[in-house]
């Protein structure tokens, strides 16, 4: 009987929390059982008093890989994570990569640990430095291990060098992906991801990508006539915007379609590599026509 009472209380608490979260994010839909399971895991023998209800439900949604929860999490906390992680990195590129990993494939595993005893923003601020340190340790190992292997291969034994083997591996991987998923499948998969990624992209990034790839302006024209900055500044902003848009496409596609990370990455790289923004232009026209 006490166990049944506790279970009933957890269910009622989960329902109340879900209602609060949906009042803040109306699009958020998380299965009640996911919240109940998380409560049982984090509060097995205690009542979840003073819990950050809205943040907790959002974290449960990301842990359950609910696409809308993932999108909300990225929109709410992506920039904040980048700022926190940047303090523990030597450059913006590393911070961007670490934050993207955190908000992407690592998010469900990490947010499963969030117990709601503080705000999600505060929890992320505490976790982010450790994530950055772990990333730097892995990066150092990745640099040191190939160096050690190269020293081992530097003797008289004949064979292919590391660079040649790596190049062959990349070619074989690309050939394998090319046979597994063709351009039409890529386009079909990414068509749905375009609008979602475009909506989540920062307004300034959307603007500069529109000027370049939808309206066909040159970087020099964008800088001189619109943004009033040098051409090299426009180029840097375009590169950053493309990278950000690519990450959002990967995030949405991974959460919604039954493809591997390698296949999704291949499709996004193929699309952005050709600078094929016809889908984007069509999507924007359709969106404006529906208003």
How large is the average pLDDT for residues 85-97? 81
284 pLDDT above the threshold of 50? no
Average pLDDT of the segment spanning 235-257: 81
Q: Which one is predicted more confidently, 245 or 265?
A: 245
pTM for the full predicted model: 0.52
Phi, psi of 32 (to 5 degrees): -60, -35
pLDDT, position 277: 56
How many Å apart are CA 215 and CA 277, to the nearest integer? 10
User: What are the domain boundaries of the chain?
Assistant: 2-133, 179-285
Q: What is the pLDDT of residues 41-88, one digit of tens each?
A: 888 777 777 899 999 999 999 999 888 998 899 889 988 888 888 888
Lowest mean pLDDT among 77-91, 97-111, 117-131, 172-186: 172-186
Helical H runs in the chain? 2-24, 32-42, 53-63, 67-86, 92-103, 107-111, 120-152, 162-180, 183-200, 203-209, 219-221, 231-256, 261-273, 278-289
The span from the CA of 202 to the CA of 185, in Å, is 27
Quote the tokens at residue 141. 């190992």
In terms of phi and psi (left: phi > 0; alpha: psi -120 to 50; beta: otherwise), the region of 61 is: alpha
> Per-residue pLDDT tens for 254-264?
777 776 777 77
Structure tokens at 171: 């070619």
Contacts of 221 (CB under 8 A, 6+ apart): none
- Measured CA to CA, the distance from residue 226 to residue 236 in angstroms comes to 16
DSSP 155: S
Encode 243-260: b = buried (16+ Cβ within 10 Å), e = exposed.
ebbbbbbbbbbbbebebe
Calculate the average pLDDT of the chain. 75
Question: What was the pLDDT predicted at 138?
Answer: 76
């Amino acid at each position: 009987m006490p166990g049944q009472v506790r279970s009933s209380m957890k269910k009622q608490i989960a329902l109340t929390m879900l209602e609060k979260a949906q009042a803040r994010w109306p699009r958020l839909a998380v299965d009640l059982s996911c919240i109940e399971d998380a409560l049982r895991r984090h509060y097995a023998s205690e009542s979840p008093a003073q819990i950050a209800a809205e943040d907790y439900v959002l974290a449960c949604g990301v842990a359950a890989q609910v696409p809308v929860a993932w999108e909300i999490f990225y929109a709410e906390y992506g920039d904040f994570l980048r700022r926190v992680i940047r303090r523990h990195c030597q450059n913006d590129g590393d911070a961007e990569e670490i934050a993207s990993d955190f908000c992407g494939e690592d998010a469900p595993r990490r947010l499963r640990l969030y117990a709601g005893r503080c705000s999600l923003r505060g929890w992320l601020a505490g976790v982010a430095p450790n994530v950055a340190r772990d990333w730097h340790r892995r990066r150092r190992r990745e640099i040191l291990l190939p160096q050690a292997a190269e020293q081992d291969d530097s003797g008289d034994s004949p064979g292919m060098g590391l660079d040649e083997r790596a190049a062959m591996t990349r070619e074989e991987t690309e050939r394998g992906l090319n046979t597994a998923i063709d351009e039409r499948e890529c386009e079909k998969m990414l068509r749905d991801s375009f609008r979602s990624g475009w909506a989540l992209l920062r307004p300034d990034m959307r603007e500069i990508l529109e000027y370049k790839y939808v309206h066909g302006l040159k970087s020099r024209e964008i800088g001189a006539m619109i943004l009033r900055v040098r051409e090299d500044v426009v180029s840097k902003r375009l590169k950053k915007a493309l990278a950000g848009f690519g990450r959002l496409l990967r995030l949405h596609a991974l959460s919604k379609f039954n493809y591997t990370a390698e296949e999704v990455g291949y499709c996004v790289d193929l699309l952005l590599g050709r600078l094929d923004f016809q889908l984007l232009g069509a999507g924007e026209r359709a969106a404006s026509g529906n208003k």
